[in-house]
Amino acid sequence: MTDPVRLWLVMLVLGAGTFLLRYAFLALRGEFPPLALRLLRYTPVAVLPGLVAPMVLWPAATGGETDPARLAAAIATVAVGLWTRNVLAGILGGAAVLYGLLWLL
């Protein structure tokens, strides 16, 4: 087992290095070009499915097997989010479907 202090130090140094590399290429140029600002608005929309999809399709809770409750919750989250145009409503709707189906199944 690695020493926790050393582990946190390495994570902080790597995080600072990553931040500084990105900061140097983006912020030190002065003001962002309008095209870059417009494209950066789509970053969370592009990253979030990549983070969530493995947890829905191959969840660790089921040993990597696709689970109907998690698929239904993902579909409900997207449907409620599109219908209401509210992120929090989508999250709460998906959570309700997930916990409801896990309780039923």
Average pLDDT value over all residues in the chain: 89
Of 60-64, 65-69, 99-103, minimum mean pLDDT range: 60-64
pTM assigned to the model: 0.61
HSE-CB of 20 using CA atoms within 13 angstroms: 6
> Using CA atoms, how far apart are residues 36 and 15, in angstroms rounded to an integer?
23
Say how many C-beta atoms besides its own lie within 10 A of residue 75's C-beta.
13
Confidence tier at 37 by pLDDT (50, 70, 90): confident
> Using CA atoms, how far apart are residues 8 and 64, in angstroms rounded to an integer?
30
